[in-house]
Structure 1
Amino acid sequence: MKRYFALFLLLVTVILQAVNFISPVAGTALITSSFGEFRGSGNRGPHFHMGIDLSTNMRSGVPILAAADGWLVRVEIDDDDIYGNVVVLEHEDTTRTLYAHLSKFSPKIDSLINSVISEFGKKRIVVNFPAKTFFFKAGEAVGYSGQTGEAAQPHCHFEIRNADETFCYDPANFIEIPRPREASFTVKSLVIDSERYTYVEGKTYPFKDPYPKIMLNVATALNKNVIGLKELKMYFNEILVYDINFGEIPIEEFNNVWSVYSNDSISDGYSYNAWYKLYPDRGTSLVKTNKFPELGRLPARVNVKIVCTDMWNDEFVIRFVVERR
């Protein structure tokens, strides 16, 4: 069974890589939020960020481009929902892309959308289109940047989903996003068994039985902004015991943020602090390795290594020691 499941995952990977996606924002767009980040407010409650945000320099009206050739699947008209105004395309490999917070739609469909609004008003409207009715070429505008929904500033929110929209995938794995020169990994703070510490490489920290409950406030700093990580792997005495990976998130886990983030995390549109929980708390598919049930009683002194991977797949290693007190 495991062999067949591995073959299935390989097939899915090959299919997803069959389409060459381009950035939905022309030029060298700065990323302002990464996939899987914590979101703590909104109409739908605390949730994962299911796409990436690309800067439009806080300007509305910037063309948002089709990331690949595709057919229009649906349009969502809603100023109050998290996503605001939305366009969804389906591509040749059956993957779908979603473009959110739009101020207005492509001229190709704008008159149709306006007629729908004039009939039904500004309440939430979802317009599903028959297959292969409206075609968009890669690089053609599907709409224009805005801040409809819960966007604090105008920008492009971009998602890549599977055919039946049950999974979202990290768009950074499919489009080229240059690493800004100023990007730097930062460790803001460390918590062990509810005690907060300043992280010092190689330092020894106390822990209690049965194992240390470790949380990290870490991020990639970009000028005044910070973005989340792609993966965190924790090792005890060089043995991998815990692995959180944000490569894909099932839609059904949209609100399951407390499985990997602590309730000290903050995201209000203007400040962002994400506390990653590196111990089992509740079930999630984002945890790829969990050996805590097999650990038994840890030695009195344990060397901890945490490998943090950013969205550009650069790795940064955190090292310290925990000692039972």
Structure 2
Amino acid sequence: MTCLVGHATWNEKIGRTMPVLPATDETIARAAGALAAGGLVAFPTETVYGLGADARAANAVAKIFAAKERPQFNPLIVHVPDLETAEGLAEFGAEARALAAAFWPGPLTIVAPKRPDCGIADLVTAGLGTIALRVPAHPIARELLEKARLPIAAPSANRSGRISPTEAGHVAAELGDIPDVILDGGPCERGLESTVVSVVDDTPTLLRLGAVPRREIEAVLGHSIEIASEDAPIASPGQLERHYAPQTPVRLDATQVEPHEALLAFGPEVPEGAATTINLSAKGDLAEAATQLFAALRTLDESGARAIAVMPIPNEGLGEAINDRLRRAAQAR
């Protein structure tokens, strides 16, 4: 497989040796070998770039937590090639199977009761009796799973709490040469993390808003689904109050902007006067905005502005997930 490589010259760009490689059959096989040997591999999915390790190997998984500086009470998502493999790791009821049939492969993560003999390291699940599973759709992720022949635990490939990476260069900027391999597959198509749904009991719960809108999940289930409360126990990535955050302070619902601020705009009518402006979608398209969100935040964070002002974004469809990310990014340190 030869993929579009948006940052194939990243190694030369930063002037030092980095593990960024164009994703080809040869480099994907090399990455699979690194995983089998207990190493770390960054790879693209349709949502964001993930930092992967063999989910069965506690020592390898511990490297993820160390690299990300991630609290160990925050569980990881396990990537698998298909529903059959997922059902070998967790107990799937009728609603979990319905969601898998509708959205796998794709950007939905299902949290289900963990099978006692699943062989997944306890560190992956933070010692819980549940496990978060996803079947990715990205061809590079799928080829990596096929070649590695092991379940891959993979959170986003960035420092904990920081902006998620949607390009290989973002991974290199965040993690340097910590991964053994960074597979470059160009920009991620969706740009928002997977939606996470818990199906542990008789009442499915939305643990994280994401790339699959809530209304699409409700259409499959045939009933409404509630979002987990802010004080609910952590059962999924993305539930920490402060997350996805730039170093620069973020101001939400801005209708005016100051000269010292960078502006994250949305829609055709944009206030003037910002130090720099990026419009997530001039035509007001939420799917386009979701794809651009993290890369835009990263660029504005590096602009030198003293604050990032964010225009209002409709809280519907993918706008729910976009606003969730922005709200968490804006939480005071």
Q: What TM-score results when the alignment is normalised by the length of structure 1?
A: 0.22
Q: What TM-score results when the alignment is normalised by the length of structure 2?
A: 0.22
Larger Rg: 1
